[in-house]
Structure 1
């Protein structure tokens, strides 16, 4: 044992945060994880339901019983208000307080045992804002894991209608609100979803599938837990590898709005990568370069947008809004009483700013990641016929038409992109296979969600020695394969119970004792 290991307090606790859009079957995911943790890994499970354990405490008693739509909508309002009144991470801090209370209660019942050594997992159902996830990662560091469950909009819409008795129109309202509100304190499920350590999918839309989707979900959950508990014999699937490569490609982007990456592959071979950045003469996009005279790494003047100092797309959108506003203002001045013109103009200006104009992307200088990858193949005379595109974000409708034309057969995406009109505009050529529509009159391009280890945890969970967790061993000194047992295995990424200040003090004492 190393000296440091003698004083470090390693906890066996796990904090698992669930993210899923409204209507998702998070109850099935929670039950599946609970069963696997208890039976396969000898772990206790404690569940924290945010709506019941936190939000319900802040809901005023209604004058009349609420139906399902009113209850869900009211809870969304309460969550938004709490984030507004306190801050965006308020619910995460409330969750941490509840976990501490659970731990204290268990310790009181087991005074002869150390609560930090208890094999226990706290499952949080569910998180709706990226700030909540960031806060829980800060509090619990390596002990926090986010699981994001994907279910198609069709399946969730059907679930809200069938299981909650909500009308189709009310279900649509809930789904659209949940995807992402412009309000900084609102529902940000889309922004939180892609931050996951592991991605799962479940769709019960097709009744002919019976329990098959749930069995697939259970298998995915078991694989995640085996990886989490350091099973040394689980390696990445090609989908996980290619998706990780797409995220690796994305980080080279200097776009002012977002980083997106793409990979084109066929027969488990990477053909090209792409990222969203500004195109350059002679092909490709800009890279920083080494200045031989100064030894500095530089960017070309007026090349990428940050060197020019502005986002052309935002500037042009604002010009459109200003132009429309000026034309409307002239009409208002001519037809509305003078004392009413000022407030009316302010209202119209705000409406224009929040309109669909803000979703326009065509004035940007950057090449989208999908197009960058496709053009890379074109420059190298590589056919994309029958290939698969792995992309960090659901393709926009502009990219979708080129993906179809390029002969791509499948698109695997991570982050949903509500602004995309791809499915609406190209339903003749694009099929959402997981929505129970596997049978089609003609072959179509398949869009499907990514399932597996997220890019943020890829190295930590798969690398034998390069991650921040325990090193993996696969064989004995005699050369025989080591056996792995989930019921005694410890988490791959240990959560330590001391701050670095406490460790420094204990190190000082340890070194004194060594002398």
Structure 2
């Protein structure tokens, strides 16, 4: 141990000698906050980022730094820009970034490599020098650290591995904000970049879900957010108010209680945990026109006498006991039937199997079945499930217990309702539907264009189906459980100085750099640094 380091340790020991063990630990806690932004391409995320920067700086006296993940693509995997015939330059530039990110993930063998670059930058900035490539013992460096009133905004997350790594390293001081803009507005924003309709379709599809090992998957990352915020041209003036509320929750700087919509979505998420469905757990709740919860529901198999099977029932005939998914089995039967009917056609049979061996005939038949099962609309069928859907369960229970109170109310569902449930939601008189997870199989707005709309600002007599806006159910209890006292011994509300207040969740600087060093190993091991 160096003499200077020994002196530093002795000084710290002397300072903390009279402190309790708890006080000594609290002295190591950082004020840093890491905020990740997840937003589908074309969404109005810039409005959110700018609002966060101003509020964190002005109201909370934080130094704010935006780390743009796409910058690491050009820095570490620069691709020559080659415009292809029939493509706009803007499209080529955007696709180059997407493909460059894919290549970088493949090169490092890490789907979270862009976030690893961001973590490395945060780590180096905390020490004021390059510590990733230093030979100096990290424990000698940690003793020098002091807390910083610093907020990093990571723009923007594109796959779940990135999100999972940030949560693993930064735990409670990391917050993911998922930004949603209506589809038509995303397309308008992209159109203003002089992109063609075909190019816009391609970009949105690729950004949402790239069908390759090292591609993007915003769809499955977005739904894991801690806060959800809807931003459109019509409501963007509300962004500051919404983010101010989120920050008040993070810092406990003002008393914030759950909004009725947040309570209802938490109830829906809680209800989802009751489901034993082999495919997915879905929960729903219904409120009346005053925001009061009148019923909950989840997807599971109905039982004689009413309601659904549940844990502890003497006879349980759910799919978890039969070990079979009826929907998948019936789709397999349907695939067999379609293939059989195609091959029974004499002309087709002759065209396909003329001069073929028995082995070749079996291979062609299996390929045909696989194509029907995987690439046709057969895969999207939902008609053969034994489970009652969560929305239907909530509607039935609500009708039994609350009768007409459901009319004019709202339905909250963890997943976008399918077209079968959509028609029942409409006939029940529900005026608004809120969801978190998209459901691509749903044809609700196509089949019921006259009665359903995804336009938040529509004045038509239609049921609105909207992305949920507010605190995510995953951190509901953490965010709304009081940590600091609200009043002093004099009975008066404690006045908070936002410029000095600590975040509700903090981490020790004694452990944080070690976790950060561990998280960038794939970069050093791949030789990219």
1:453-501 Cα distance to aligned partner (Å, 9 max, x none): 111111111111xxxxxx221100010110012211111111233459x
**TM-score normalized with structure 1 length:** 0.84
Structure 2 equivalent of residue 316 of structure 1 = 330
- 1:357-396 to structure 2, matched below 5 A, reads 357-380=378-401, 382-383=403-404, 384-396=406-418
**Structure 1 counterpart of 2:72, from 34, 53, 69:** 53
- 2:523 is aligned to none
Matches within 5 A, 1:222-371: 222-266=244-288, 267-289=290-312, 303-328=317-342, 334-336=350-352, 338=356, 348-352=368-372, 353-371=374-392
Q: Tell me the distance in 2 between the aligned counterparts of 1:250 and 1:472.
A: 31
Distance in 2, Cα, partners of 1:349 & 1:309: 23
The aligned residue for residue 477 of structure 1 is: 489
- What aligned pairs does 1:139-178 form with structure 2 within 5 A after superposition? 139-162=169-192, 164-178=193-207
SS of the aligned residue for 1:131 comes to helix
Structure 1 contact 197–457 (Cα < 8 Å) conserved:
yes
In terms of mean alpha carbon deviation, does 72-81 or 214-223 score higher?
A: 72-81
Match of 1:508 in 2: none
Superposed CA offset, 1:424-463 (max 9, x none): 21121112332x5x233xx211222221111111111111
Aligned to 2:225, the other structure's residue is in SS state coil
Report which of the two structures shows the higher radius of gyration computed on alpha carbons: 2
Q: Secondary structure at the match of 1:136?
A: helix
1:99 aligns with 2:99: no
Tell me the SS of whatever aligns to 1:391: strand
Q: Determine the C-alpha separation between the residues in 2 that align with 1:256 and 1:154.
A: 34
What is the TM-score normalised by the length of structure 2?
0.82
1:343–1:149 distance in 2 versus 1, CA, 3 Å: same
Q: Which position in structure 1 is the counterpart of 2:209? A: 180
Contact 1:232 1:474 survives alignment (8 Å) = no
2:101 aligned residue: 79
Distance 2:334 2:294 in 1: 40
1:118 matches 2:132: no
Change (3 A) 1:497 1:356: farther
SS class of match (1:414): strand
Kindly indicate whether the alpha-carbon contact (under 8 Å) linking 2:179 and 2:229 is maintained by their aligned counterparts in 1: yes
Q: Secondary structure at the match of 1:73?
A: helix
1:24 and 2:53 matched: no
Instruction: Provide the C-alpha distance between the structure 1 equivalents of 2:208 and 2:164, rounded to a whole number of angstroms.
Output: 19
How far apart are the structure 1 equivalents of 2:244 and 2:448? Answer: 36
Residue in structure 2 matched with residue 90 of structure 1 by the alignment: 113
Partner in structure 2 of residue 129 of structure 1: 159
Q: CA deviation at 1:247?
A: 0.9
Shift of 1:251: 1.3
Corresponding position of 2:475 = 457
Question: Who is 2:501 aligned against?
Answer: 489
SS in 2 for 1:324: helix
Q: Deviations over 1:248-291 (max 9, x none)?
A: 111111111222111111112110001111111111112112xx
What is the CA deviation profile of residues 81-127 of structure 1, one whole-angstrom value per residue up to 9, with x for unaligned ones? 4445514333333332232233333799xx99965511111111111
Cα 1:71–1:6 change in 2 (3 A) is same
Looking at structure 2, the residues matched to 63 and 184 of structure 1 have their Cα atoms a distance apart, in angstroms, of: 25
The CA deviation string for residues 138-163 of structure 1, in whole angstroms up to 9 with x for no partner, is 1111111100011011110111001x
Q: 1:382 deviation in Å? A: 2.1
Shift of 1:129: 1.4
Contact preservation (8 Å) 1:313, 1:363 = yes
The change in CA–CA distance for 1:357 and 1:180 in structure 2 (over 3 A counts) is farther
Count of matched residue pairs:
472
Offset at residue 301 of structure 1 (A): 5.3
Aligned to 2:62: 43
* Distance change (3 Å), C-alpha of 1:106 and 1:120: farther
CA distance in 2, matches of 1:349, 1:98: 51
Q: CA deviation at 1:327?
A: 4.8
Distance in 2, matches of 1:26 and 1:462, equals: 26
Deviation at 1:35, TM superposition (A): 1.2
2:128 match: secondary structure:
helix
Secondary structure at the counterpart of residue 412 of structure 1: strand
Residue equivalent to 2:168: 138
Q: Does 1:218 align with 2:236?
A: no
Instruction: Give SS of 1:147's match.
Output: strand
Q: Secondary structure at the match of 1:424?
A: helix
| Secondary structure of 2:403 counterpart | coil
Distance (Å, rounded) in 2 between the aligned partners of 1:325 and 1:59: 48
Please give the alpha-carbon distance, in whole angstroms, between the structure 2 residues aligned to 1:146 and 1:396: 27
Q: 1:269 to 1:478 in 2, by over 3 A?
A: same
Residues 456 and 381 of structure 1: is their aligned pair in 2 closer, same or farther, counting only changes over 3 Å?
closer
Question: Is 1:432 the counterpart of 2:451 in the alignment?
Answer: no
Structure 2 gaps of 5+ residues are: 1-18, 132-140, 515-529
How much does 1:302 deviate?
5.0
Report the 3-state secondary structure (helix = DSSP H, G, I; strand = E; otherwise coil) of the residue aligned with 2:436.
strand
